[in-house]
A and B are shown apart, each in its own frame.
Chain A
Amino acid sequence: MAVCVAVIAKENYPLYIRSIPTENELKFHYMVHTSLDVVDEKISAMGKALVDQRELYLGLLYPTEDYKLCSYGYVTNSKVKFVMVVDSSNTALRDNEIRSMFRKLHNSYTDVMCNPFYNPGDRIQSRAFDSMVTSMMVQVC
């Protein structure tokens, strides 16, 4: 399923990034970082649309050729980005599944934000969020 999940702040620095431990972590960092190019482009293209009608899910950002991985993006109204890298060989994973995974991630992120002791902009250190991400990474693979 998801091999890497990242939450990126409005200013484009990572708030949270986790990948499956077996693979090279750096690779995923680079991948998420370069995905932001596409996110930026999509957001600026979307800018003209009405805010309340906007689709938060950005769809496929880019398929990387080397690792048979695809990254998907999602952006909240406060311009916090979620990027998820999935194994593209997993055909069970369709757009709808990805969409629902993002929604789950968003809900969990909202919970983190609701924590009065969390300072927006800090790295996310939450056990609940961690376990949710773990469940998304484990689910199928």
Chain B
Amino acid sequence: MSPTQWDFPVELCCRPMAFVTLTGLDVVYNAVHRAVWDAFCANRRADRVPISFKVLPGDHEYPKCRPKRTSYEWYIPKGILKTGWMNKHLNLVPALVVVFYELDWDEPQWKEKQSECATRVEIVRQSLQGRNTKVAVVLIQKKTPLPPGEDVTASERAAALCNACELSGKSLFVLPHTDHLVGYIIRLENAFYEHAQTYYYTEIRRVKSHKEFLNKTTHQLLFVRHQFKIAFFSELKQDTQNALKNYRTAYNLVHELRAHETNILEIKTMAGFINYKASVTYPNPDPLETQTGVLDFYGQRSWRQGILSFDLSDPEKEKVGILAVQLKERSVVHSEIIITLLSNAVAQFKKYKCPRMKSHLMVQMGEEYYYAKDYTKALKLLDYVMCDYRSEGWWTLLTSILTTALKCSYLMAQLKDYITYSLELLGRASTLKDDQKSRIEKNLINVLMNESPDPEPDCDVLAVKTAQKLWSDRISLAGSNVFTIGMQDFVPFVQCKAKFHAPSFHVDVPVRFDIYLRADCPHPIRFSKLCVSFNNQEYNQFCVIEEATKASEVLENLTQGKMCLVPGKTRKFLFKFVAKTEDVGKKVEITSVDLVLGHETGRCVVLNWQGGGGDAASSQEALQASRSFKRRPKLPDNELHWDSIVIQASTMIISRVPNISVHLRHDPPALTNEMYCLVVTVESHEKTQIRDVKLTAGLKPGQDANLTQKTHVSLHGTELCDESYPALLTDISVGDLHPGEQLEKMLYVRCGTVGSRMFLVYVSYLINTTIEDKEIVCKCHKDETVTIETVFPFDVAVKFVSTKFEHLERVYADIPFLLMTDLLSASPWALTVVSSELQLAPSMTPVDQLESQVDKVVLQTGESASECFCLRCPSVGSVEGGVATGHYIISWKRTSAMGNVPVISTVITLPHVIVENIPLHVNADLPSFGRVRESLPVKYHLQNKTNLVQDVEISVEPSDAFMFSGLKQIRLRILPGTEQEMLYNFYPLMAGYQQLPSLNVTLLRFPHFTNQLLRRFIPTSIFVKPQGRLVDDTSIAAA
């Protein structure tokens, strides 16, 4: 069996072309014939029709046609496809036989020539007996023929020749041997091609006609065979579409075949052939060799040809046959072939996204490389896929791959790989039996002691010899014998978990954590060193356990127990260290845990766990453990369930707990703009003196940014602070404090806006403490926050009234009015109004003195203080939005505040007022009261406020309570800017509050000037006292 047997036979791979034989050409001695042949076969480019030509002698024997079967009833096929069949139709049985014959139409000896030609045709027909092969005659002529129809002799003789040769007119051709030979040849070819197609068409029909005789039980193989033949003929006919269709049908039929061990190879071969044919898009570029064709049927065993029964008739022969095949097989390097095929398959499955199939094939490839003794490549492949199986948790498969990998690494004496695979094969993910594990463990220990391991079982003997040599070379080789292996990517036999005792530690207590170790190997294992690394490397030195050196052999027993891991038992190692004060507020993290197996003097391997331990399988295990409700059996003291240990690889270092108290004393709420006093009391409860006490106080950061602008903090209450003061005072040094001592600090806060604010008081200090015989300086701090509400100290209401204390919507130019202020205390604390001041705008003029009327007034909550100022506004014309009045400034402080506390001035902007001009102003002069039957003189002043002469009608309406004298009705003129006086004498008749006789004024030029307006300026009523009695009246004395 040559390896090429696995290649496809050449007849399968070549492109089938119609087969046409040419006879009667003497290409060796006849130049003309030679030229014809050359024209047929030279320069066959793609545009020529696909025909394969062959020159044969006229009496060539074609393969005999077997007698056609009329019934398939008793026929049992012996195989699927005969080996010779394809070749027969490609190269042996022509679709068309062409007889070349030299004959001109004007040949003198026509009769003789015609009969000779007929004889040649007959001979060809004879040898093609039973086949449907077409026959054609080509006459080679020296003269150019005349156009058809013109040469009468030619058409007569042609008809006669056809008759003599029993040919149809379509099968007779003329080839003039002239300059245009190639053109004639191409035309001939096309005609041949048509004949060939007809032939293959009839062949297809013929094969199809067999179908109806077949039955599914005995002729399963024939179904495939016929379908294949139809497809092949279609291909010969260049009918690719039908060919493909038929190959597909054939492929499906192959699937229906009953497969058995004895014929599976045949079926697979045929399926392969058909599949190859069906996928014409994969042309095989280089078929090496032709099938030698010793077999009758493809894919059958040579000694079992044609035997259909599945039970082996001749076991002895079978045995010999198999041995013979196996002998041949031995000479073939199968691994190479297999590996090539596998790598093709890997590419295929990778393309179609089948990762697991790909991995599986890569494992097979790796194993094949192992058999081919290419251990480097094997290891590379196996190593590559291992993690896929590991991450999906297929431990059985992983173990099998690891076992192979271990063999490879042993045979190459790859130390690090050998150790790595051993570690994992001993681990809990390995499904190996205990005896295997203990063998591997023994080997591992040997390797760590710088000795050679025992060979792995089932290894090639020669390879083992080489390996042993390599191992012994290794031993003598000095050099790096320390291997660090990261544990997070696989499942080693030592598990590790690190756990800080708490999520945070105060800086004045030692940080404690445990390292838990557990071995899964069958025998106890010793280690030489355990060390822990941190993100702050300064701690590393405190967390090392090392095997005692020879000097302290006294302790050996003790250390031995300590440095040994017993399978299945969880070992706990306690570590502690003192955190650095710089690390306060930082995270201390375990970055790695290293466990050293073996000795640095021999070989040693460092198992390195990133973070707080854990390997490729532990996260899933932890998840499962956390889900579990199972109660764990009780274990003896000091032993722990491995699953119940949760990794805690980091801890926070926090500052020492402060032992001081901070109190705040204040009187809320704060009043806007006042210097609000906050008394901070710090008392030390520490056992020793505390140093460098510092205070940070003020608005707590992180609140509304506007608050920061409107809040100011100062230590000095005696002066008002302004914008330049900060919202937060930092690091105010207040010195040292002895145990039990307390200090007080006053802070003053000025809040510019109302609302609530959070204030922070943060006290920090230094103290010396001793832990673990180390003196450290601890920084402690304590903070207090307080929320303070700020309110307005008082509400100020301002109103404008007329001189009659009537409410004014607007004031009249040049006419006095009153400004009334009302100060209502809103503070829960008593307020002292130190003074008040009215700052008038330039447009306003005071009528009298503007001195404060509320100086030194103390207001309790809800009390109010009012002031009244008489003002006048000169005429200004009409101003949009009114005329500014000015400011009202109140200076105040808390009544309780000390003398040195500054007075706060609150400025209130007075409202604008609308000023209106009036044409006439009337004011009256009259006494404040009258007396019954006593004359009451009243003088009215009428002032013209315009630049016009005013015509004024005045009338006085009588009242029941008064008699009066004076002008009752008058009409007069008042010049611009002048004043007219009207004098009346009223005589009250009744006591009490009496209506005065009303003065009515009508301005002819200003009809809008009404008496209502007038009433605002002049009194309408007066109090009339009863008639007086003498002082010595006895009746009063009696009363």
Contacts and interface: CB of A to CB of B under 8 A. Distances in A.
A12 interface: yes
B861 to A, nearest CB: 70
Given A14-B394, A33-B394, A116 B354 contact: no
A119 B628 CA distance: 6
Interface string A23-45: 00110011001101110010000
24 contacts: A11-B393, A17-B396, A26-B396, A29-B397, A30-B397, A33-B356, A33-B389, A33-B397, A34-B356, A34-B360, A37-B353, A37-B354, A37-B355, A37-B357, A41-B353, A41-B354, A65-B268, A89-B259, A116-B629, A117-B630, A119-B629, A119-B630, A121-B624, A121-B627
A29 B629 contact: no
Interface in A102-124: 116-117, 119-122
B392 interface: yes
B623 interface: yes
B397 A13 contact: no
A30 B360 contact: yes
Nearest to B271: A65
Contacts of A119: 624, 627-630
Interface in B260-306: 268
B198 interface: no
A79 interface: no
A26 B354 contact: no
Contacts of B623: 121
Nearest to A116: B629
A77 B620 CA distance: 22
B992 to A, nearest CB: 98
Nearest to A65: B268
A68 interface: yes
Contacts of B353: 37, 41
Given A11-B393, A13-B393, A26 B400 contact: yes
Interface in A55-79: 65, 68
A29, A33, A65, A89 — most chain B CB neighbours (10 Å):
A33
Interface in B611-665: 620, 623-624, 627-630
Contacts of B389: 33
Contacts of A37: 353-357
A21 to B, nearest CB: 14
A120 B630 contact: no
Contacts, number: 58
A3 B397 CA distance: 18
Contacts of B268: 65
B871 to A, nearest CB: 85
A12 B356 CA distance: 11
B394, B628, B629, B630 — most chain A CB neighbours (10 Å):
B394
Contacts of A14: 393-394
Interface residues of A, number: 24
Contacts of B354: 34, 37-38, 41
Interface residues of B, number: 23
Interface string B512-539: 0000000000000000000000000000
Contact of B259 (A68, A116, A122): A68
A17, A29, A41, A89 — most chain B CB neighbours (10 Å):
A29
A38 B623 CA distance: 28
A26 B364 CA distance: 12
A30 B363 CA distance: 10
Given A68-B259, A119-B628, A25 B356 contact: no
Interface of B: 259, 268, 353-357, 360, 363, 389, 392-394, 396-397, 400, 620, 623-624, 627-630
Given A34-B356, A68-B259, A119-B627, A25 B394 contact: no
A13 B629 contact: no
A124 to B, nearest CB: 13
Kindly list the 4 A-B residue pairs having the minimum CB-CB distance in the complex, ordered from nearest: A13-B393, A37-B354, A119-B628, A34-B357
Given A34-B356, A119-B627, 12 more contacts: A17-B396, A26-B397, A26-B400, A29-B394, A30-B397, A37-B354, A37-B355, A38-B354, A116-B629, A119-B630, A121-B627, A122-B624
Contacts of A29: 394, 396-397
Nearest to A68: B259
B875 to A, nearest CB: 88
Contacts of A30: 360, 363, 397
A124 B394 CA distance: 15
A13 B392 contact: yes
Nearest to B258: A89
Given A34-B357, A119-B624, A25 B392 contact: no
A65 B272 CA distance: 13
Nearest to A120: B627
Nearest to B354: A37
Contacts of A34: 354, 356-357, 360
A26, A30, A121 — most chain B CB neighbours (10 Å):
A30
B317 to A, nearest CB: 26
B354, B356, B620, B630 — most chain A CB neighbours (10 Å):
B356
Contacts of A12: 392-393
B392 A11 contact: yes
A26 B259 CA distance: 25
A22 B932 CA distance: 143
Contacts of B394: 13-14, 29, 33
Contacts of B392: 11-13, 33
Nearest to B399: A26
A93 to B, nearest CB: 16
B519 to A, nearest CB: 22
A30 B624 CA distance: 25
Given A37-B355, A68-B259, A25 B630 contact: no
A25 B431 CA distance: 13
B644 to A, nearest CB: 14
B6 to A, nearest CB: 16
Nearest to A32: B394
A13 B394 CA distance: 6
Contacts of A11: 392-393, 620
Contact of A36 (B259, B356, B400): B356
A116 B272 CA distance: 54
A25 B624 CA distance: 27
Nearest to A63: B255
B360 A33 contact: yes
Nearest to A91: B258
Contacts of A33: 356, 360, 389, 392, 394, 397
Contacts of A25: 396
A49 to B, nearest CB: 21
A103 B623 CA distance: 30
Contacts of B357: 34, 37
A87 to B, nearest CB: 12
Nearest to A122: B624
A66 B246 CA distance: 27
Contacts of B363: 30
A68 B630 CA distance: 43
B431 to A, nearest CB: 10
Contacts of A65: 268
A13 B624 CA distance: 13
A118 B630 CA distance: 8
Interface in A86-141: 89, 116-117, 119-122
A55 to B, nearest CB: 22
Nearest to A25: B396
A30 B364 CA distance: 11
A118 to B, nearest CB: 9
A106 to B, nearest CB: 22
B357 to A, nearest CB: 5
A29 B360 CA distance: 10
Nearest to A37: B354
Contacts of B360: 30, 33-34
Contacts of A117: 629-630
Contacts of B400: 26
Contacts of B397: 26, 29-30, 33
Nearest to B389: A33
